[in-house]
Each structure stands twice: as structure tokens, then as C-alpha cells.
Amino acid sequence: MRAAQPSLLTYGFSRQDNGRGYQMYREAVLQLVNALKHEQFRCGYLSSEVQSMLAVRERWLWKISNCKEGEKPPGTYLRSSH
């Protein structure tokens, strides 16, 4: 049996290390989070993208399931109520 490959973050980017690599990734993540927050407040970007992804998922569930007319496909309970 083959051993699992460690992830990139295993190689010295731990929080305790506080090395340059960790700081670079942390800064990149914080910038991404701030940009997403800004876009959500500006125009509802995240919520509209989530709705689009859920619609694609629902169409896919209908396509792969063999539901009868009027039945809901499995997994539609995850659909957002907004």
C-alpha cells in the first residue's frame, strides 16, 4: 500500500514556525477574504454565485436521478431558502 503524500502546507508552513512561507500564504488568504467581503457588500456577489451553484447542482441531481414527475431528487434538502 502506498503512503499518502504530505500536502504543501506540511513542509514548514506551520503557524508555530511563523516563517516567510506561512506569512505569505496568510497575507494572500486575508487579501482574498477582504476582496470577497467587499464584493458581497457591494453587489451580493457571493450569494448570487452560491445560488447559481445550487441551481446547477439541482439540475444535475434531476438529470442523474430517475425521479417520477412531482418527486424531488435526493439531496435537495441542501438547497438555500434565500
What confidence score (pLDDT) does residue 59 get? Answer: 83
Tell me if the pTM is above 0.85: no
Sequence spans of domains, the chain: 10-64
Share of the chain above pLDDT 70, in %: 61
What is each CA distance from 10 to 13, 53, 56, 65, 69, in whole angstroms?
6, 31, 34, 40, 50
Q: How far apart are the first and last CA of the chain?
A: 46
Q: What integer best gives the mean pLDDT of the chain?
A: 77
Q: Which residues contact 74 (CB under 8 A, 6 or more apart)?
A: 61, 65
Composition of the chain by helix, strand, coil, percent to 5? 60, 0, 40
pLDDT in tens, 31-70: 999 999 999 999 999 999 999 999 898 888 878 887 766 7
